[in-house]
Amino acid sequence: MVKYFLGQSVLRSSWDQVFAAFWQRYPNPYSKHVLTEDIVHREVTPDQKLLSRRLLTKTNRMPRWAERLFPANVAHSVYILEDSIVDPQNQTMTTFTWNINHAEVVEERCVYCVNSDNSGWTEIRREAWVSSSLFGVSRAVQEFGLARFKSNVTKTMKGFEYILAKLQGEAPSKTLVETAKEAKEKAKETALAATEKAKDLANKAATKQQQQQQLL
């Protein structure tokens, strides 16, 4: 049985901006699992549509219980083909992606179009199908694949927003790692300041006590 996903997202940027950002998404702080990307084919059709095919390599760790069933290169990485059709006249971009060397097959279809409620925003309609033919564990592999796919969608949207902010000259929002690092550094500074203040108060108290003893 195939696991199915249907979702819709909105980017608060115009279709032209999203189209430009799509080709510049990698690298970004949320795409560290993307190792390589290569354009293997590109053409413009007579009706002025842009057709492209890209090959991407991503890390794709399988659950521990499944890793021992496959060679390391299959268990830890995956090759993905991405076909895209860009129709600038109607301002739509449709992408089809699927992996070609993994125990689970994830097929995704995305349509990028102008948001019906706000022409300055872009809507992304996303569908995905997760399947596996592994005897005895196919259901578990599909459940794991669907959960990971949903997590990756969140990272994809955050990465998109990060690149859009950079392209528009804005300061990209900080990643969770950056925020945590800053909080840790600030905590260290606060602790150090508190320690120095405690030492200063202790020295003052000791000096005052010595002065009192001298008067006695």
What's the rounded Cα separation, in Å, for the pair 146 and 115? 27
- Total-model pTM: 0.74
Residue ranges of alpha helices (H) inside the chain are: 15-22, 64-67, 72-76, 138-167, 176-215
Looking at residue 120, its pLDDT comes to 96
Strands 50-59 and 77-87: antiparallel
pLDDT (tens digit, 9 = 90+) per residue, 52-90? 999 999 887 666 665 666 655 555 678 999 999 999 999
